[in-house]
Amino acid sequence: MLLRLGRCGVANKLLTRVARSAYSTRIPFHRETVKVSIGGSGHVDLEIQARISDTESRPSVLLQLPAGSRLEAPADPQEAPPDNARLRNLHSAIITIHYRLSSPLPLTATAALDHRFPMPVHDVHTSFAYLTSTILPGLFPYALEEPRIDVAGSSIGGALATTLALTEPNALNSVTITDALVDWCMLDEHAGIVEEAPPGNYLRGQRKKAPPSVDPEAIQTAARALIAARTRLFPTPSSFFDPFASPMLFLRAPGRDTPRTHAEALGLVTSSQEAEPEPHDTIAYGPYNDDHDPTRVPSIDSLADSMSNMTLQQQQNRRRRKVIRRWPPIGVPEDVMLPRFQIFSRPPRNDTDGHGWLLHKQATDLADYLRRACFCGREKGFAEDRGFTDIHIFEASSRLTTLGVGINVQPSAVLILRNLGLLPTLLSTGIQTKELNFYDRHGNPILSEPRGLSAGYTIPQFSIHRGELQQLLRSAVEDRLGKDTIHLNHAFTSYTQDANSVTAHFTQRSTGELATDHPSITGDILIAADGINSHARKLHYPTEGPPRFSGRILWRGCIELPNPYLTGASMIWDGHANQKFIAYPISARSASEGKSLVNWIAELRVRDESDPDLTPPPPADWTRSVPKETFQEPFRKWRCGGLRMMEDLIEPTGKVYEFPMCDRDPVERWSFGRMTLLGDAAHAMYPIGSNGASQAILDAECLAACLVEHTSGAGDVDVEAALTTYQTRRLPPTAAIVMANRGNGPDQVLQLAHERAPEGFDDIYSVVPKDELEAVGSVYKKIAGFEMEKVNARAAETVGEERRWFGADKANGEVDGHANGQVEGRARHVNGTPA
Ligand SMILES: Cc1cc2nc3c(=O)[nH]c(=O)nc-3n(C[C@H](O)[C@H](O)[C@H](O)COP(=O)(O)OP(=O)(O)OC[C@H]3O[C@@H](n4cnc5c(N)ncnc54)[C@H](O)[C@@H]3O)c2cc1C
């Protein structure tokens, strides 16, 4: 996979042709230097050392990128000694790319000036393309698998190795970099030339890890020395603001606009002065180097003098947030995976080692941004590394039973399940909803609304058996977090907290005695998802009382029909607010047998609308089975969508369950220090518009994102801030849904038709205009957060995110690369800690 191939710009046919046969002679040890032509501008030497056998096993290749021109003599990394250890293995090679800036000449030499950026980038990428297309197949002609390529580099070579890893990710197994200069733009902040740009949204609120203490003046001096080197290495600022030269910029924005000239970059002229662009050589050494001799590096003193004339204020208008950039970028195929990264840097040697401090900062920043920006890779990235793995789930019931009824989940929530890698199981279990058909009580069609993929969403809407959904979530939890994560027979009773932790207490519901596994447990966060009768909520709202009864009761059942009805994936919504019937199929297994497992709900008003009593009727146990006689009669003659409600659905159903339709008034607060509410505990709503569970899933995703956002680079989580952010983001929209559902939500189309034509109609649009009908659904989608554009955009942004759950097994290669004598052994995950 090659991103931005055009940047490398040299077609293979222009390359020096190396006869394949030269490599097919099987000699145990092979040493050769190959010249690779780079366009018309010169060539690069590839130094090859290899041990070759005629086995079919997978070859192993180490690609070395030398440190390059010395940027500052005393603190520069030592060139790593050749990694001969690898050559003890047959079928392996070490290949050094001597890109044309790789000789350790001082930067003052004219030779270095002739090899300025982007030349080193072209050299490395062109050589790599030639290597993989021509040289390696010739070296290992019998290998059945493509060689495993590890790349190592330091200083400028380290930056080039990083660029290679981020633009040719799937071609590499690992990358090891030492003291790499991956961000040329940050130097100005440390040289006192521009004020440090604020972090992007994603990084705000993080506590910064204290950098090793080094004299600020030493840092400034070192930064200015590197800036002087920069003016020699890059003809214009746009060439070091290019991610190919400063690969950190693949992961985040630079924090300011790209200056047009070096003088402007240093604040010596402002962009408003509209300075006439100068020829490259003059610009590079211009205003602070009087004689314009390109072989002379401007002295640090002259640079400092020039800089003292500008003010930080001058730069303010060019400051931008250092917004994080997603990697891989949107639109890149899903199978792109980040190679394993090892990042090494020495901490500063003493309190005057400004150069060491700058390189160390670049290393820790790179590790941090790789963790945050990379959505998929063999290193997985993101939240898993954040220590949120010691998770326990406590359930009051002593066994998990599966109610034989269904649930419908909106695309916005299915997207989250997709990103958790659960879509394949959902596809093989549930039914992708195709349409939602509304009828009046006489069976006259009101509106047929396409749903999920049929409506143009890129993510399906699902109807699924509750028990099966619960089971697939439970399996995922047990697979990923461990079998002993879920603790049954633990009823939450109370909690205490202090500045550092929260402790929850549990009893056994049946006996009231202390729970056996965990009578209490102490942790960082307590999330109360204990439903509409939440005990945690009651602790904070003791006078709230029982849920608020709508005056209507729902009876639910499930029955397998011998044939599918309508499309086999249609939902039926029939009637009006006081008498309603809903039916939809929920089982892929049943559909595969040509049948249809149909979930149905019959709803009736049982208490007068004017009755001020809002307490729900007994029994408290809403999951008990009830006789059908209590509700079936009013539905005897109802028919729609090819179904007879009484004969086809109610009568043949075995068990029927009763639910008083209740909700709760929105509250002002869900989060209390380290405890927060989630799902029905936070925002119980009428079961209208297939939303309660969908919103609980959205809550969970939001909460997880808030925890990641409020985690510092050092891994410390500001729990209270995270829970407050979660509340700020989720409370207002869910409160709006609670209120919208009291106004019938999307079912308002039924109510409109019923109120305007209670005895039926011939033409629905003469009763309710088309626009008015369709507006009900679109307004509700907006309130409930599942507008198509929004869901599809988010789906595109997060393509491939589910791969993090499947990438771990691919992360096991050996790396025996050598960098500064410090790396040996197994590759580790992205490593911000210097070795
Ligand atoms: C008839 C009906 C139809 C619905 N249809 C849909 C639909 O199609 N789509 C949709 O998205 N939503 C639907 N909903 C809403 C949906 O079921 C709920 O919004 C969703 O189940 C809420 O999930 P939750 O985890 O917050 O709470 P619950 O599902 O209620 O789970 C709470 C859990 O906490 C446990 N618990 C309770 N107290 C304690 C305690 N003290 N200690 C430990 N554990 C405790 C309970 O045993 C339970 O397992 C419907 C609801 C009803 C009533």
Q: Residue 280 has what pLDDT? A: 33
C-beta contacts of 202-207 below 8 A and 24+ residues apart: 202/323, 202/324, 202/372, 202/709, 203/322, 203/324, 203/372, 204/709, 205/709, 205/710, 205/718, 205/721, 206/710, 206/711, 206/712, 206/713, 207/712, 207/714, 207/716, 207/718
User: With bands split at pLDDT 50, 70 and 90, how would you rate the model's confidence at 44?
Assistant: very high
Buried b (16+ CB within 10 A) or exposed e, 402-417: ebbbbbbbbbbbbbbb
Weakest mean pLDDT among 400-404, 464-468, 602-606, 680-684: 400-404
Q: How much distance in Å is there from the Cα of 712 to the middle of ligand 1?
A: 34
Average pLDDT, the chain: 80
pLDDT confidence of residue 368: 77
Q: What are phi and psi of 604, to 5 degrees?
A: -135, 145
Residue of 442, 414, 344, 147 lying closest to 824 (CA atoms): 344
Q: Please give the structure tokens belonging to residue 272.
A: 């408003």
Q: Is the separation of the CB atoms in 18 and 188 below 8 Å?
A: no
Cα–Cα dist 525/388, whole Å? 10
Question: Higher pLDDT residue, 611 or 108?
Answer: 611
Q: Residue 279 carries which DSSP code? A: P
CA-based nearest residue to 309, from 273, 369, 275, 269: 269
**Region 354-361 average pLDDT:** 90
Q: Could you tell me the two tokens for 819? A: 């960098």
pLDDT at 275 over 60: no
Q: Cα of 529 to ligand 1 centre, how many Å? A: 9
Most confident of 20-29, 429-438, 477-486, 607-616: 429-438
**Rounded Cα–Cα distance for residues 260 and 253 (Å):** 17
Q: How far apart are CA 487 and CA 489, in angstroms?
A: 7
Copy the structure tokens of residue 604: 């009736």
What is the structure's pLDDT at 392? 92
Percent of the chain with pLDDT over 90: 49
Give mean pLDDT, residues 51-80: 73
* Measured distance between the N- and C-terminal CA atoms of the chain, rounded to whole angstroms: 31
Cα(404) to centroid(ligand 1), Å: 14
Q: List, chain by chain if needed, residues with CB within 6 Å of any ligand 1 atom.
A: 394-397, 407-409, 491-492, 529-531, 535, 554, 556, 659, 679-681, 687, 690-694, 696
Per-residue model confidence as pLDDT tens digits over 191-218: 877 666 554 433 333 434 445 688 999 9
What single string gives the DSSP state of each residue in 527-552?
EE---TT-HHHHHH-TT--SPEEEEE
Residue 661 Cα to ligand 1 midpoint, Å, equals 13
- Confidence (pLDDT) at 140: 87
Q: What's the mean pLDDT in 365-378? A: 67
> 141 phi and psi, to 5 degrees?
-70, -20
Crossing angle for the helix pair 692-709 and 719-742, to the nearest 10 degrees: 160
Bigger pLDDT: 29 vs 805:
29
- Convert the pLDDT of each residue in 373-414 to its tens digit: 665 433 333 334 444 557 899 999 998 876 668 999 999 999
Whole-number pLDDT of residue 709:
85
Q: Which ligand 1 atom sits nearest the alpha carbon of residue 463? A: 8
Higher pLDDT, 266 or 717: 717
Q: What is the pLDDT of residues 655-667, one digit of tens each?
A: 899 999 999 999 9
Rounded CA gap, 528 and 765, in Å? Answer: 46
Q: Whose CA is nearest to atom 31 of ligand 1?
A: 531
CB 306 within 8 A of CB 288: yes
> Higher pLDDT residue, 824 or 693?
693
Tokens of 350: 């003493």
Instruction: Determine the distance separating the centroid of ligand 1 and the alpha carbon of 89, expressed in angstroms.
Output: 59
CA distance 577 to 590: 31
Q: What is the pLDDT of residue 403?
A: 65
Which of residues 19 and 52 earns the better pLDDT score?
52
What domains lie within the chain, and their CATH numbers?
1-257+322-380+810-835 (3.40.50), 393-803 (3.50.50.60)
